[in-house]
């Protein structure tokens, strides 16, 4: 989103949330109007600058709106927006995404039926009880049911775990064509975002072959609908409900095009501005000077001509990456190959389907030096969590396996111990003391308010035996919002205690998310990147955790799974003393 769109969305959200809260009409109308006006402005507000007097001169923008825009341009946020957002459960925002459901109705659902999230609404829709709400008949309920079903099947953003394999398959298919010189996915997927609006694929080929290639593309198995087919641009929908855009460009322009279609839009804008400052011009075809091409064939060429280091796609979000690239200061981002240990895995003892030995063999195969076996604790009854007696027996088994694998692999006895609703842990300290590693995670009571959640997690961090906090929010992308603890406080506490915070690599979790992981490393907190494996296949989720980490600017030095065997053992010891 560019600045105008971002601002329009914020003002619209303020209007919606005030409507939900049944605040005064005057204010609601003012915000809604501001959203509309800003959304239609031809000039970028960022270019006008944070000057209230100038902004207020724009038709339809009053002084109060102008000062909010200025505040946003200066600080990246608007206090009035943050204040009003704090007054509602954030799950209500998901309801606003349902087509046919406006903020007024959402407000009624909240105040009169206690609905705070999409899950709550779905539960209530199992019966017709919502017809008791004003202006809510049988027909409206059916419409809402249909909208939700549609949104969940095809609409909305898809998880990266779903999009990546689809994109890779399309790229492989296109690469089988002799006419295709290069094929590569771009867009938010290449940037490793946790959710993807649509898949963008770029092909380098001669213009003469573009018809052959697009014909091939739109007829691939799995394509259920052709949305557009043209010379250089085609678009289809797949059986998974995902849109795939294909662009065909001349090989000489591939680098510039890949750069453009990788985005983000904000990063592109910053790049273009830099080009202009240097007396050049940058678009999806080339970097040019006085209409003569300077660079276009590869991304490296273009970055170089702009006096920049090549910026990894995951960092292209206009979060200061160009300033770093200019000074040769970009971090050396972590890679899958840097990971040398898996520290969160479930065996058949709880809800996994692999034995200790199966994990051990797999870990050796991956070139790991350490694996930690961390089954669920007793509170996770539905996951066959271990009671104290079973954990003691399990520890013995793990120790026996560790002995068997001595010299080849370090096997750590651990537990993924539940952080109970009040922040106490699911096992007593004397039992936790028997373990080499303790991953403490919240699994239940995930709708707690932020204050309670913060206190809960902080209490868990204080436990002297905890080494890693697992998936701190408990969110499931597109499915469950999870906790919204005060991340600043949690990070400070983790730093103070010396524990690591987990990026759970499972594509449904990615928890810590990118922005939280960035905050954590900026404060000097170590991260753990683990797959939370329950069986074969799960350990291949590692790549999603790595992408999230790269988006946060994480290097191998920030991650305990990248330490040597001895360094990790020492770190664990230190953290527990
Ligand atoms: P998505 O699909 O919503 O997850 O996000 P993207 O980033 O993949 O966005 P998409 O598919 O709309 O466009 C792909 C890239 O193309 C985007 O990251 C940057 C570039 N692009 C598209 N439209 C514009 C535009 O209007 N201005 C600029 N500067 N770049 C654009
Ligand atoms: Ca896209
Ligand atoms: Ca697209
Ligand atoms: Zn787990």
Residue 302's φ and ψ, nearest 5 degrees, are -65, -45
Q: What pLDDT, on the 0 to 100 scale, is given for residue 400?
A: 98
Q: What angle, 0 to 180 degrees and rounded to 10, lies between the N-to-C axes of helices 63-75 and 3-20?
A: 120
Q: What is the dihedral of CA 107, 108, 113, 116, to 10 degrees?
A: -10
3-state secondary structure of 419: strand
Q: Which atom belonging to ligand 1 lies closest to the Cα atom of 245?
A: 11
Last residue of a domain, one of 196, 219, 249: 249
3-state secondary structure of 374: strand
Residue whose CA is at the smallest distance from ligand 1 atom 30: 265
Q: What pLDDT, on the 0 to 100 scale, is given for residue 154?
A: 47
Q: Which domain holds residue 121?
A: 92-153
| Distance between Cα 169 and ligand 4 center (Å) | 30
Q: Probe ligand 1: pick from 9, 185, 263, 267, max atoms within 8 Å of CB?
A: 263
Q: Which atom belonging to ligand 1 lies closest to the Cα atom of 199?
A: 2
Same domain, 500 and 525: yes
Tokens standing for 127? 């019966």
Q: What pLDDT, on the 0 to 100 scale, is given for residue 6?
A: 79
Tell me whether residue 12 is in a domain: yes
Residues with CB under 5 A from ligand 4 (ion): 416, 532
Residue whose CA is at the smallest distance from ligand 1 atom 24: 265
Q: What pLDDT, on the 0 to 100 scale, is given for residue 155?
A: 54
Tell me whether residue 303 is in a domain: yes
Same domain, 245 and 293: no
- Output the domain CATH number for residue 100: 1.10.150.20
Tell me whether residue 46 is in a domain: yes
Rounded Cα gap, residues 9 and 33, in angstroms = 12
Residue 347 near residue 384, CB atoms below 8 Å: no
Same domain, 102 and 235: no
Q: Which atom belonging to ligand 1 lies closest to the Cα atom of 193?
A: 4
| Distance between Cα 268 and ligand 3 center (Å) | 15
Taking CB atoms and a 6 Å cutoff, what residues make up the pocket around ligand 1? 187-188, 196-198, 200, 260-261, 263-265, 268-269
Residue whose CA is at the smallest distance from ligand 1 atom 16: 261
Residue whose CA is at the smallest distance from ligand 1 atom 25: 265
Q: What is the DSSP string of 546-574?
A: HHHHHHTT-BGGGBGGGS-HHHHHHHHHH
Same domain, 364 and 401: yes
> Using H for helix, E for strand and C for coil, what is the string for 215-267?
HHHHCCCCEEEEEEECCCEEEEEECCCCEEEEEEECHHHHHHHHHHHHCCHHH
Tell me whether residue 331 is in a domain: no
Residue 211 near residue 257, CB atoms below 8 Å: no
Same domain, 106 and 78: no
Which residues have a Cβ under 8 Å from the Cβ of 127 and sit 6 or more positions away?
none
| Distance between Cα 460 and ligand 3 center (Å) | 43
Question: Whole-model pTM above 0.85?
Answer: no
Tell me whether residue 414 is in a domain: yes
Tokens standing for 237? 């929908």
Same domain, 164 and 81: no
Measured from the Cβ of residue 398, the count of other Cβ atoms closer than 10 Å reads: 22
Number of domains in the chain: 5
Q: Name residues of the chain where pLDDT drops below 50.
A: 1, 154
Measured from the Cβ of residue 428, the count of other Cβ atoms closer than 10 Å reads: 10
Residue whose CA is at the smallest distance from ligand 1 atom 18: 263
Peptide bond just before 427 cis, omega within 30 deg: no
Which residues have a Cβ under 8 Å from the Cβ of 26 and sit 6 or more positions away?
none
Last residue of a domain, one of 199, 222, 249: 249
Rounded Cα gap, residues 388 and 156, in angstroms = 44
Residue whose CA is at the smallest distance from ligand 1 atom 29: 265
Among 55, 14, 53, smallest CA distance to 33 is for 14
Same domain, 114 and 236: no
| Distance between Cα 191 and ligand 4 center (Å) | 27
Q: Which atom belonging to ligand 1 lies closest to the Cα atom of 269?
A: 29
| Distance between Cα 475 and ligand 4 center (Å) | 13
Tell me the ligand closest to 246's alpha carbon.
Answer: 3
> How far, in Å, are 96, 116, 156, 231, 430 from residue 151 at the CA level?
12, 18, 6, 31, 48
Same domain, 234 and 272: no
Q: Which atom belonging to ligand 1 lies closest to the Cα atom of 268?
A: 29
Q: What pLDDT, on the 0 to 100 scale, is given for residue 150?
A: 64
Q: Probe ligand 1: pick from 5, 191, 200, max atoms within 8 Å of CB?
A: 200
| Distance between Cα 260 and ligand 1 center (Å) | 8
Rounded Cα gap, residues 77 and 209, in angstroms = 48
What does the pLDDT look like over 475-489, one tens digit per residue? 988 777 899 999 999
| Distance between Cα 261 and ligand 3 center (Å) | 8
| Distance between Cα 244 and ligand 2 center (Å) | 8
Q: Probe ligand 1: pick from 187, 189, 256, 266, max atoms within 8 Å of CB?
A: 187
- Output the domain CATH number for residue 290: 3.30.210.10
Same domain, 109 and 231: no
Q: Which atom belonging to ligand 1 lies closest to the Cα atom of 195?
A: 4
3-state secondary structure of 314: helix
Name the β-bridge partners of 282.
287
Measured from the Cβ of residue 40, the count of other Cβ atoms closer than 10 Å reads: 10
Same domain, 397 and 509: yes
∠ CA 60-61-67, nearest 5°, is 175
Same domain, 44 and 125: no
Residue whose CA is at the smallest distance from ligand 1 atom 8: 187
Rg (the chain; Cα; Å): 26
Residue 194 near residue 548, CB atoms below 8 Å: yes
Same domain, 215 and 313: no
> How far, in Å, are 246, 325, 529 from residue 100 at the CA level?
32, 45, 40
Q: What pLDDT, on the 0 to 100 scale, is given for residue 443?
A: 96
Q: What is the DSSP string of 377-408?
A: BTT-GGGT-B-HHHHHHHHHHHHHHHHHTTTT
């Amino acid at each position: 989103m560019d600045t105008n769109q971002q601002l329009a969305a914020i003002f619209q959200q303020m209007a919606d949330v005030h409507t939900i809260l049944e605040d005064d009409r005057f204010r609601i109308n003012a915000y809604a109007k501001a959203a509309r006006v800003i959304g239609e402005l031809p000039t970028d507000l960022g270019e006008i600058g944070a000057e209230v007097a100038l902004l207020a001169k724009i038709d339809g923008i009053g002084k109060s709106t102008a000062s909010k825009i200025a505040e946003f341009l200066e600080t990246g946020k608007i206090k009035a927006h943050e204040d009003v957002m704090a007054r509602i459960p954030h799950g209500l925002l998901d309801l606003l995404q349902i087509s046919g459901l406006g903020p007024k109705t959402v407000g009624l659902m909240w105040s009169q039926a206690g609905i705070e999230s999409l899950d709550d609404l779905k539960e209530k829709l199992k019966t017709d009880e919502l017809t008791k709400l004003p202006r809510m008949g049988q027909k409206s309920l059916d419409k809402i049911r249909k909208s939700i079903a549609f949104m969940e099947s095809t609409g909305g953003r898809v998880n990266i775990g779903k999009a990546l394999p689809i994109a890779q398959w399309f790229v492989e298919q296109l690469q089988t064509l002799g006419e295709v010189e290069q094929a590569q996915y771009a867009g938010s997927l290449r940037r490793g975002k946790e959710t993807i609006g649509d898949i963008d694929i770029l092909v380098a080929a001669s213009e003469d072959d573009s018809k052959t290639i697009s014909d091939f593309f739109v007829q691939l198995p799995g394509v259920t609908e052709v949305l557009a087919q043209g010379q250089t641009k085609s678009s289809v929908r797949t059986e998974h409900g995902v849109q795939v855009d294909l662009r065909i460009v001349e090989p000489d322009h591939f680098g510039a095009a890949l750069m453009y279609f990788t985005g983000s839009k904000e990063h592109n804008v910053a790049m273009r501005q830099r080009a202009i400052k240097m007396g050049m011009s940058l678009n999806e075809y080339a970097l040019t000077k006085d209409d003569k091409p300077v660079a276009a064939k590869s991304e490296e060429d273009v970055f170089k001509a702009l006096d920049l280091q090549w910026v990894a796609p995951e960092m292209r979000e206009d979060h200061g990456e160009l300033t770093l690239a200019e000074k040769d200061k970009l971090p050396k981002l972590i890679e899958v190959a840097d990971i040398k240990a898996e520290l969160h895995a479930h065996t058949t003892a709880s809800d996994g389907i692999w034995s200790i030995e199966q994990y051990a063999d797999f870990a050796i195969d991956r070139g790991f030096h350490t694996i930690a076996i961390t089954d669920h604790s007793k509170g996770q009854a539905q996951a066959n969590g271990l009671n104290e007696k079973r954990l003691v027996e399990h520890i013995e088994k793990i120790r026996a396996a560790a002995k068997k694998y001595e010299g080849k692999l370090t096997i750590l006895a651990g537990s993924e111990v539940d952080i109970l609703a009040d922040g106490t842990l699911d096992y007593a300290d004397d039992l936790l003391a028997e373990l080499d590693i303790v991953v403490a995670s919240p699994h239940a009571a995930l709708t707690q308010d932020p204050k309670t959640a913060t206190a809960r997690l902080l209490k868990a961090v204080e436990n002297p035996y905890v080494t890693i906090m697992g998936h701190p929010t408990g969110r499931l992308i597109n499915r469950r919002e999870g906790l919204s603890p005060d991340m600043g406080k949690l990070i400070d506490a983790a730093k103070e205690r010396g524990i690591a915070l987990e990026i759970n690599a499972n594509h449904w979790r990615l928890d810590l998310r990118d922005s939280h992981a960035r905050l954590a490393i900026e404060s000097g907190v170590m991260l753990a990147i683990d797959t939370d494996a329950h069986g074969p296949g799960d350990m291949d989720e590692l790549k999603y955790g790595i992408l999230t980490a790269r988006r946060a600017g994480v290097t191998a030095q920030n991650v305990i799974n990248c330490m040597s065997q001895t360094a990790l053992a020492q770190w664990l010891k230190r953290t527990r003393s």
